[in-house]
Amino acid sequence: MPGLAANPILPLDHLALRGDDHDDALVLREGVLSWKDLRERVSRLAAWLVREVPQTGARIATWAAKGELTCLMPLAAARAGLVHVPVNPLLKHAQVAHILADSGAALLIGTAARLNTLEAVDVPEGCRLLAEDEALAAAARLDGELGPSEADPHELAAILYTSGSTGRPKGVMLSHANMGLGAESVAAYLGLARDDRTLAVLPLAFDYGQNQLFSTWHAGGCVVPLDYLVPRDLMKAVEKHRITTLAAVPPLWVQVCELDWPAETAARLRRLTNSGGALTVDLVRRLRATFPQARLFAMYGLTEAFRSTFLDPDLIDSHPTSMGTAIPHAEILVVDDRGEVTADGEEGELVHCGPLVGQGYWQDEQRTAERYRPAPAASRYGGTAVWSGDRVRREAGGLLYFLGRRDAMIKSAGNRISPQEIEEAALATGLVAEAVALGLPDVRLGQAVHLVVRAAPSATDPAAELPRKLMQELPNFMQPKAIHWREAMPVGPNGKLDRAGLAAELAAEFAA
């Protein structure tokens, strides 16, 4: 197959074998794990998992802050022949209940405080709950380890739940090969090495966040996970831990550039990587001024195919708004409505082909068939491709430019948010009769959630009660920045609520 590595594709857990025994591999609050420590703990955790969940292919969910459990479980579950389902620690009981039921998880390991928020109806039959400290202690006591996996690299290794424009989060199925080749690809084009130290500030439940671990470990480097409270925590960590690599999303970069960075601290960073939203020309200039020695990588990705493009840092000043070109192991085509590759300068749909393409949506044949379709005839890979729905343009020289999204998904602070999920939560309160969630441009967030609602006739004081109810049911990143009350909601020609009209109305209101 074109573009594949010359070396054999290995199971994901083989990433634990990459570094030198005495080098740092993982910096935790409790202490530093060497590569030898990392290998031993992955082996013990995998052996414990086999004892606890002996059924090959069973789903194991984790719901905890960054730490030993969330960092090691992707490799340990893969070694044990299980499928890891990482749950965003910011989610609340309703979203977690959906993920547990949809994935059919046999075990949820999480922070005790988080597990205590779940009600009996949130936990499906057959799913056991276990506190992370108990799980780690039991694995540490285990007399025995589990050696490297010999699994077929194309077997399912993880299900990552991501929100679409409609409905609840859907699970993207990823194989050992999908994630392993993704790690190899990113490590290669970033130029990661064994002396690199990555500050992992992004959520590990997302593909961009997980790859902070995988690509660094593929290079034999060290990861420093951080759940920060304020942006200044990042600056302190860069200095304290001699960080060379930092990945973030545009809203965080805005905050990072507002800090007064000492020159010697800023100079520690060799590379900055961005995904989860486009960089603006102004933000590129601010980042380049703040970190003149660092290489700035602008990237574009899809959970359904991990990562699609990156821009050569040498071009970031002259082409700051470009998505760049295909990453290693990916083929990116721009296709018109007839399924043919467009000419330079013509708009089309971005189609991702090659071995990074995931295996579809877990137990959702309909949505899989909509997004995962046969590759265009021009593809050198053939097989199944991801048809992104995103409109792009390829200019002469091959550089790609993003034009817009075909769906209505809200992208706020790097999070993909389903409008329907917010609307359902609002309607479930009984306080509103109709609801429309929209994403409006926001300097700090990329897009901010705005909720337009019509009060239910029987509601008492809905304006005061609705924010409180939503705070109980939705994670912080889904909370509306503003709630707009209407006596009547506009309806379009098809009889549906006029989302486009509402969006235009609010955009004009905030532009005034």
Per-residue pLDDT of 174-221, as tens digits, reads: 999 999 999 999 999 999 999 999 999 999 999 999 999 999 999 999
pLDDT score recorded for residue 277:
80
Banded model confidence at residue 276, pLDDT cuts 50, 70, 90: confident
Amino acid at the residue 8: P
Check residue 4 and give its pLDDT: 43
- In this prediction, residue 6 carries a pLDDT of 58
Check residues 385 and 408 and name the one with the higher pLDDT.
Answer: 385
For residue 73, give Cα distances in angstroms to 17, 81, 183, 224, 368. Answer: 15, 12, 16, 16, 27
Number of Cβ within 10 Å of residue 393's Cβ equals 18
Q: Looking at the DSSP assignment, which residues form a beta bridge with residue 415? A: 412
For residues 187 and 26, give the distance between their C-alpha atoms in angstroms, rounded to a whole number. 17
Cα dihedral across residues 502, 509, 452, 460: positive or negative: negative
Spatial neighbors of 19 by CB under 8 A, at least 6 apart, are: 25, 35, 38, 194, 217, 220, 221
Question: In degrees rounded to 5, what are phi and psi of residue 174?
Answer: -125, 140
Q: Is pLDDT at 5 greater than 60 in this prediction?
A: no
> In the structure, how many helices (H) and strands (E) does the chain have?
15, 25
Q: What percent of the chain has pLDDT over 90?
A: 81
Instruction: Spell out a b/e string for 405-440, using b for 16 or more CB atoms within 10 Å of the CB, else e.
Output: eeebbbbbbbbbbbbbbbbbbbeebebbebbbbbbb
What is the SS3 string spanning 268-329? CCCEEEECCCCCCHHHHHHHHHHCCCCEEEEEEEECCCEEEEECCHHHCCCCCCEEEEECCC
**Which is nearest to 184 in space by CA: 327, 35, 341?**
327
Asked if 108 and 86 count as a contact pair (C-beta separation under 8 A), the reply is: no
Give pLDDT, residue 496.
73
Per-residue confidence at 166, pLDDT binned at 50, 70, 90? Answer: low
* The pLDDT of residue 162: 86
- Average pLDDT across the chain, whole number: 93
One-letter amino acid for residue 356 of the chain: L
Residue 131's H or E segment, with its range, is: strand 128-131
Instruction: Read off the pLDDT of residues 48-102 as tens digits, 9 standing for 90 and up.
Output: 999 999 999 999 999 999 999 999 999 999 999 999 999 999 999 999 999 999 9
If you average pLDDT over residues 142-163, what whole number do you get? 93
CA nearest to 395, candidates 350, 430, 343, 439: 343
State phi, psi for 497 to the nearest 5 degrees. -60, 135
Distance CA 239, CA 218 (A): 24
CA dist 281 to 3, 184, 250, 316, 346, Å? Answer: 32, 30, 12, 10, 23
Q: Is the pLDDT of residue 1 over 60?
A: no
User: What would the pLDDT profile of 337-348 be if each residue is shown by its tens digit?
Assistant: 999 999 999 999
Please give the pLDDT value at position 335: 97
Q: How far apart are CA 162 and CA 104, in angstroms?
A: 17
Mean pLDDT value of segment 113-133: 96
pLDDT at 511: 74
Task: Say yes or no to pLDDT of 424 above 90.
Answer: no
| DSSP string of 65-106, one letter each residue | -SSHHHHHHHHHHHHTT-EEEE--TT--HHHHHHHHHHHT-S
For the cut 90, the answer to whether the pLDDT of residue 498 exceeds it is no
DSSP 8-state code for residue 129: E
State pLDDT tens for residues 436-479: 999 999 988 999 999 999 999 889 999 999 999 999 999 999 99
Residue 2 has pLDDT above 60, yes or no: no
Q: Residue 261 — pLDDT band, cuts 50, 70, 90?
A: very high
Name the packing angle between helices 176-190 and 207-218 (round to 10°).
Answer: 70
Rounded to an integer, the average pLDDT of 10-39 is 97
Q: Give residue for tokens 């955790």.
A: 45
Banded model confidence at residue 167, pLDDT cuts 50, 70, 90: low
Tokens at 366, concatenated: 């309909």
232 vs 508: which has the higher pLDDT: 232
Which domains are delineated in the chain? 11-23+34-175 (3.40.50.980), 410-511 (3.30.300.30)
Please enumerate in sequence order all residues whose Cβ is within 8 A of that of 372, keeping only pairs 6 or more positions apart, or say none: 304, 357, 358, 360, 384, 385, 386, 387
- Does residue 279 carry a pLDDT above 90? no
Indicate the DSSP class of residue 364: -
Q: What is the pLDDT of residue 3?
A: 40
Q: Which long-range contacts (CB under 8 A, 24 or more apart) does 52-55 make?
A: 52/107, 53/80, 53/82, 53/106, 53/107, 55/106
Nearest 10 degrees: CA dihedral of 477, 479, 480, 485? 170
Which tens digits make up the pLDDT trace of 404-418? Answer: 776 677 889 988 888
Please report the DSSP string for 405-452 in residue order: ESS--EEETTEEE-HHHHHHHHHHTTSEEEEEEEEEEETTTEEEEEEE
The tally of CA atoms less than 13 A away on the side-chain side of residue 474 is: 27
Q: Which of 56-60, 251-255, 362-366 has the lowest mean pLDDT?
A: 251-255
Q: Where does the pLDDT of residue 284 fall: very low under 50, low under 70, confident under 90, or very high at 90 and above?
A: very high
User: How far is the C-alpha of 374 from the C-alpha of 199, rounded, in Å?
Assistant: 38
Q: What is the DSSP letter of 477?
A: G
Task: Render pLDDT for 309-354 as a digit per residue (tens, 0 to 9).
Answer: 999 999 999 999 999 999 999 999 999 999 999 999 999 999 999 9
Closest alpha carbon to 228 in 218, 220, 238:
238
The closest of 89, 72, 100, 88 to 12, measured between CA atoms, is 72
Position 395 scores a pLDDT of 95
